[in-house]
Amino acid sequence: MESVSTTSHIADASLAASGGRRVNWAERFMPVLRQIRERFAAERPLEGLRVSACLHVTTETANLMRALKAGGAEVLLCASNPLSTQDDVAAWLVEELGIAVHAVRGEDNDTYYRHIQAALAHRPTITMDDGADLVGALHMIALDRLDDLAPPVREWIAGLDADARSDIVSSILGSTEETTTGIIRLRAMAADGVLQFPVMAVNDSLTKHLFDNRYGTGQSTLDGVIRATNILLAGSTVVVAGYGWCGRGVAFRARGAGAKVIVTEIDPVVALEATMDGFPVMPMEQAAPVGDLFLTLTGNTSVVREEHFRAMKDGAIVANSGHFDVEIDVARLAEVAEGPPVEVRPMVDEYRIDGRRIEILAQGRLINLAAAEGHPAAVMDMSFANQALAAEFLLAERDSLTNQVHRVPAEIDREIARLKLAAMEIGMDVLTPEQEHYLASWDLGT
C-alpha cells in the first residue's frame, strides 16, 4: 500500500525485506564504499550535516545513503527520475535505516516535483544531484525566478516569507553532481556568475567517468534494451548517437555482441576517433534507413527527429540512454503518428508512421534505469565513493571553496583507484629509486 507521511512518500513499506536482501547483494560488489562507511562510522565526519540527495533510488544508492548516515549525516533521498525507483529499496531505506525517502516508481510529473520540494524543505546543508534538479530549483529560488519553478515547488515557495526563502539557499555549503549533463548546466551557471555555492563535479573524477560512463552505461544500456525487447544483437545494425564515454562503452559492447555498429557525431575529433576505432560514422539522416536499433547518448535535444522516423525501416527500435528524455522527439512522433501508440510489451510503445512501425522504449527515458537496474554495483562503487568523499571534502574545506565547479582532488581519485585495486587483489609495480630519478631529470635522456 502507498505510504505517505510528512517524512516519506514511498509505494509500499511491506517490500522492505526484499529490498534489504538486494541492497546487501549490491554491497558485496562495493568494497570501496564499504570501507568508507566503516571509517565514517568510526570517525563520524559528517556529524551535523543535512543532506538532500536527488538520485536514482537503486540498491547502489541505498549503500551510499547507508555510508552517509554512518558518517553522521541526516539524509533525505528523492528520485532523480520517475521510472528508475526500485520501490523495495525505498521501503528498506525508510523501514530499516530510518532515512526519509520521497520516491514512487512511475510517479507523475506533479509528484516528482513534490518530492523535489520535500528535498528542499529538508533544509539541506549539502545537496547531491544526478542531473542538477535540486541545484536548478535552488537557483531559481535564489534568483527570484519563481516562474521557472515547477508548479508544486513554486506554490510552496510562494507561501514562504523572504527570510525563509533566503534561508533555504544560504544554509547550503555546497553540492555534488553525478552526471555529465548536470556538470554542463552548472559550468554554464558558473560562467554566468550566478552559481551560489561550490559544486563538486563527481562526474569529472577519472574513477567515475572512465568507468561508470563507459563500462556501466555500456553494459546496462544493452541490458535495458534486451530486457525490454529480447532482441538478438548479433547480426543487427545498431546506430549509436554520440561517441562520448557513454557512447563508446555502448558501441564497443554492441560490437562485442556481434552487431554492426554505426556512430553519429557532431565533434570532428571525436568522429575521427570513432572512425579509427573501426566504426562507420555518418549523419543520422544516412543511418536512419539502415539501423535496426537506435541508441541516443548525446546529452543534447532532438537527436532523433521526425525526418529520421520517416526514413526508418519497419520495426526500427529507438531508445535513449542520455540523462533527459529529450534526445528522441517522441512528442513529435506522437503528433504525426497514425493513431495512439500501442504498448506491445512492457516498456515498448509502437507508433505507426507512413505505414511503418517504430518501437519507442521506455517513453524515451533512460533505458538502462527504466528497463534494467542501471549500472552494476561494481562501477557505482567508485562513483559513490567519490560522492561520499566529495561530501566530506566539501564540509572540511567549506571556508576555502569558491562558488565554482570543482573537481574532486586528484589524491582522492587516485586513492579510490588504489582501494579498488586492493579489493580486487591486483598488485602494481612501484618505481625504483633509479626510475624516480630518471623521471625527475632532464639531462639523462641518452
The footprint of ligand ADE (CB under 6 A) covers: 55-56, 58, 60-61, 216, 369, 373-375, 380
What cell numbers appear for 53 in the block? 540527495
**Amino acid letter at 331?**
A
Considering beta carbons, is residue 130 or 329 the nearer one to ligand ADE? 130
Cβ–Cβ < 8 Å for 317, 359: yes
Q: How far apart are the C-alpha atoms of 388 and 53, rounded to whole Å?
A: 12
Identify which of residues 58 and 205 has a Cβ nearer to ligand ADE in the complex.
58
In sequence order, the 6+-apart residues with CB closer than 8 A to the CB of 416 are: 32, 205, 207, 382, 385, 386, 389
Residue 237 vs 368, nearer CB to ligand ADE: 368
Nearest residue (CB) to ligand ADE, 245 versus 351: 245
> Which residue, 181 or 237, has its beta carbon nearer to ligand ADE?
181
Of the pair 60, 88, the CB lying nearest ligand ADE is at 60
3-state secondary structure of 142: helix
Q: Which is nearer to ligand ADE, 236 or 363 (CB)?
A: 363
Nearer to ligand ADE, 208 or 406 (CB): 208
Grid cell 568522429 in the structure block, residue: 271
Count of Cβ atoms closer than 10 Å to residue 42 Cβ: 10
Q: Locate the DSSP E strands across 314-387.
A: 316-320, 342-345, 348-353, 356-361
CB of 367 to ligand ADE, least distance (A): 11
The Cα angle at residue 199 between residues 118 and 374, in degrees rounded to 5? 65
In angstroms, give the least distance from the CB of 383 to ligand ADE. 7
Nearer to ligand ADE, 117 or 180 (CB): 180
Q: Is 232 left (phi over 0), alpha (psi -120 to 50) or beta?
A: beta
Question: Distance between CA 251 and CA 237 in Å, rounded?
Answer: 11
Provide, rounded to whole angstroms, the least separation between the CB of residue 309 and ligand ADE.
27
Sorted by sequence, the CB contacts under 8 Å of residue 162 that are 6+ apart come out as none
Residue whose C-alpha cell is 618505481? 431
Task: Find the shortest distance in angstroms from Cβ 440 to ligand ADE.
Answer: 41
Measured CA distances, 109 to 81, 103, 210, 266 (Å): 10, 12, 32, 32
Which H or E element spans position 306? Answer: helix 306-311
| Cα–Cα dist 293/370, whole Å | 17
DSSP for 249-265 reads HHHHHHHHTT-EEEEE-
Residue 140 CB, shortest distance to ligand ADE, in Å, is 24
Q: Whose CA is closest to 282, among 263, 269, 301, 268?
A: 263
CA pair distance 154, 36, nearest whole angstrom:
38
* Residue 121 CB, nearest approach to ligand ADE (Å): 23
CB of 369 to ligand ADE, least distance (A): 6
Least separation in angstroms between CB 175 and ligand ADE: 17
Least distance from ligand ADE to the Cβ atom of residue 311, Å: 31
Of the pair 94, 369, the CB lying nearest ligand ADE is at 369
Closest approach of Cβ 388 to ligand ADE, in Å? 13
Residues 218, 203: Cα–Cα separation, whole Å: 16
Residue nearest to ligand ADE (CB): 374
Helix axes 410-423, 377-396, angle to 10 degrees: 140
Closer by beta carbon to ligand ADE, 61 or else 386: 61
CA distance 292 to 313: 7
Q: Which residue lies nearer to ligand ADE by CB, 312 or 377?
A: 377
Report the nearest approach of ligand ADE to the CB of residue 58 (Å).
Answer: 4
Task: Tell the smallest beta-carbon distance from residue 72 to ligand ADE (Å).
Answer: 23
CA 214/CA 205 separation, integer angstroms: 13
Contact yes or no for 376/29 (Cβ under 8 A): yes
